[in-house]
Amino acid sequence: MTATVRDSVASGNAGPGFGADQNPPAPGGGELNIENCLAANNLIGIVSYPFSLVRVSNTTVTDNATGLFIEDPGSLLSRGNNTVEGNATNGSFTSIYSAK
């Protein structure tokens, strides 16, 4: 699975607001690009499941039980211009990527 979400809101979910998964697991996993979005009031704001890659840019993650969650060996990359604040547990990105 490869997908891009832009200018969207994920709110009030009993699970993740945004997430990448590969079901059934396959080499390379899922890939999700999130641009200019809001993840609020979810169980998890953004999740990267095993073998999946999530890239996040210009996005706010707030008021979730867990802001960012990574299941190894998933990857959750930040463009460096995101706000992750005000979650019960904020979590963190695995690394920062730059524009090319």
User: Concatenated DSSP letters for 58-81?
Assistant: S-EEES-SEEEEE-TT-EEEE-S-
Instruction: State residue 21's pLDDT score.
Output: 83
| Domain ranges, ordered by start, for the chain | 2-8+28-89
- Provide the terminal-to-terminal Cα distance of the chain, rounded to the nearest Å: 23
Q: How many beta carbons lie within 10 A of that of residue 85, not counting itself?
A: 11
pTM recorded for the entire structure: 0.93
Tens digit of each residue's pLDDT, the chain (100 residues): 789 999 999 999 999 999 998 765 666 678 999 999 999 999 999 999 988 999 999 999 999 999 999 998 899 999 999 999 999 999 999 999 998 8
Which residues make beta-bridge pairs with 1?
none
Instruction: State residue 17's pLDDT score.
Output: 98
Contact between 3 and 29 under an 8 Å Cβ cutoff? The reply is no
